[in-house]
Amino acid sequence: MAVSTVSDDGKFWSGLKKAYAKLPKGAKWTLAVASTDGAKAVNVIAHDSIDGVRELFEAHAGAYATTEYFEADAKNAVGLAR
Protein backbone atom coordinates (compact mmCIF):
# COMPACT_ATOMS: atom_id res chain seq x y z
CA MET A 1 0.00 0.00 0.00
CA ALA A 2 1.11 3.52 -0.70
CA VAL A 3 -0.60 6.25 1.32
CA SER A 4 0.23 9.74 0.06
CA THR A 5 -0.22 13.30 1.26
CA VAL A 6 -0.37 15.12 -2.05
CA SER A 7 1.02 18.61 -2.67
CA ASP A 8 0.12 18.87 -6.39
CA ASP A 9 -2.68 16.50 -7.34
CA GLY A 10 -2.51 17.18 -11.10
CA LYS A 11 1.20 16.38 -11.34
CA PHE A 12 0.91 13.51 -8.85
CA TRP A 13 -1.78 11.68 -10.84
CA SER A 14 -0.06 12.45 -14.13
CA GLY A 15 3.10 10.89 -12.71
CA LEU A 16 1.20 7.82 -11.50
CA LYS A 17 -0.30 7.32 -14.95
CA LYS A 18 3.26 7.21 -16.31
CA ALA A 19 4.25 4.80 -13.52
CA TYR A 20 1.29 2.55 -14.35
CA ALA A 21 2.58 2.23 -17.90
CA LYS A 22 5.93 1.04 -16.50
CA LEU A 23 4.78 -1.50 -13.92
CA PRO A 24 7.41 -4.16 -13.30
CA LYS A 25 6.68 -7.63 -14.64
CA GLY A 26 4.33 -9.47 -12.31
CA ALA A 27 3.08 -6.33 -10.55
CA LYS A 28 -0.65 -5.57 -10.44
CA TRP A 29 -2.13 -2.17 -9.59
CA THR A 30 -5.32 -3.08 -7.71
CA LEU A 31 -6.58 0.31 -6.50
CA ALA A 32 -5.88 4.00 -6.95
CA VAL A 33 -8.17 6.43 -5.13
CA ALA A 34 -7.98 10.03 -3.92
CA SER A 35 -9.88 12.06 -1.35
CA THR A 36 -12.38 14.53 -2.81
CA ASP A 37 -10.06 17.45 -2.07
CA GLY A 38 -7.08 15.71 -3.71
CA ALA A 39 -4.93 16.00 -0.59
CA LYS A 40 -4.72 12.25 0.16
CA ALA A 41 -4.30 9.18 -2.04
CA VAL A 42 -4.28 5.45 -1.41
CA ASN A 43 -2.82 3.01 -3.91
CA VAL A 44 -2.68 -0.76 -3.61
CA ILE A 45 -0.12 -2.54 -5.76
CA ALA A 46 0.58 -6.27 -5.59
CA HIS A 47 4.30 -6.84 -6.09
CA ASP A 48 6.96 -9.04 -4.57
CA SER A 49 8.98 -6.05 -3.33
CA ILE A 50 7.88 -3.03 -1.31
CA ASP A 51 11.16 -1.41 -2.37
CA GLY A 52 10.16 -1.88 -6.01
CA VAL A 53 6.85 -0.10 -5.37
CA ARG A 54 8.66 2.70 -3.54
CA GLU A 55 11.13 3.15 -6.42
CA LEU A 56 8.31 3.26 -8.99
CA PHE A 57 6.31 5.83 -7.01
CA GLU A 58 9.23 8.05 -6.11
CA ALA A 59 10.56 8.11 -9.68
CA HIS A 60 7.26 9.30 -11.15
CA ALA A 61 5.35 11.12 -8.40
CA GLY A 62 7.71 11.55 -5.45
CA ALA A 63 8.19 15.28 -6.00
CA TYR A 64 4.44 15.88 -5.66
CA ALA A 65 3.62 13.96 -2.48
CA THR A 66 4.96 12.52 0.74
CA THR A 67 4.21 8.81 0.64
CA GLU A 68 4.34 6.08 3.26
CA TYR A 69 4.66 2.47 2.10
CA PHE A 70 3.19 -0.54 3.91
CA GLU A 71 2.79 -4.22 3.28
CA ALA A 72 -0.96 -4.93 3.36
CA ASP A 73 -2.41 -7.46 5.79
CA ALA A 74 -4.25 -9.38 3.06
CA LYS A 75 -5.74 -11.99 5.39
CA ASN A 76 -7.69 -9.30 7.26
CA ALA A 77 -8.49 -7.13 4.24
CA VAL A 78 -12.01 -6.81 2.89
CA GLY A 79 -12.40 -6.89 -0.88
CA LEU A 80 -8.84 -7.84 -1.84
CA ALA A 81 -8.12 -11.08 -3.63
CA ARG A 82 -6.15 -13.48 -1.48
Instruction: Give me the residue spans of the domains in the chain.
Output: 2-73
CATH topology of domain 2-73: Alpha-Beta Plaits (3.30.70)
Q: List the chain pLDDT tens, one digit each, 82 residues.
A: 999 999 999 999 999 999 999 998 889 999 999 999 999 999 999 999 999 999 999 999 999 999 999 998 878 888 766 5
pLDDT in tens, 23-45: 988 899 999 999 999 999 999 99
DSSP reduced 3-state for 76: helix
